[in-house]
Amino acid sequence: MLIGEYLHTVDAKGRVNFPSKLLKHFGDSFVVTKGLDNCLFCYSLDEWEQLEEKINALPLSKSRGLQRFLFAGAVVVQPDKQGRILIPQNLRDYAGLQKDVMVIGASNRAEIWDRQSYESSCEELTSDMVASAMDELGF
């Protein structure tokens, strides 16, 4: 399970220091792709394979847009010895990553956010919204 919030910066070459607590889950390489809400999703290779199988099990008429969204811009990254990953320019542009970024654990994936976008997203989430979701799950 991936949890926690980590503040990092994007360097001039487009690299982000990936939190060591999350790297333990991902291993030597993992997938970074476009995510919802203009953030990036990071999946272990095993999780990515499971996601791919689920999407490919859908009829093409229902899956083609999702396939394009997730797979076209996806990259496999390998952290360097300092734990940095290189985020390609197209993905940095999609997520609006300039300088300060938040890397968060989100259960089976990590997410990379522009810090301001992440903070705005958190502010929009009300306790009523959380309570409603908890009710739906039977909490």
Asked if 72 and 33 touch (Cβ cutoff 8 Å), the reply is no
pLDDT, one tens digit per residue, over 48-87 is 999 999 999 999 999 999 999 999 999 999 999 999 999 9
Q: What is the per-residue pLDDT for 134?
A: 84
Q: How many domains does the chain have?
A: 1
> What value does the mean pLDDT take over residues 88-99?
97
Mean pLDDT, range 121-132, rounded to an integer: 85
The DSSP secondary-structure symbol of 88 reads P
Is the per-residue pLDDT at 19 higher than 90? yes
Domain housing 50? 5-137
pLDDT of residue 128: 84
- pTM, to two decimals: 0.92
Q: Name the residue type at position 12.
A: A
CATH number at residue 92: 3.40.1550.20
Percent of the chain as helix, strand, coil, to the nearest 5: 45, 30, 25
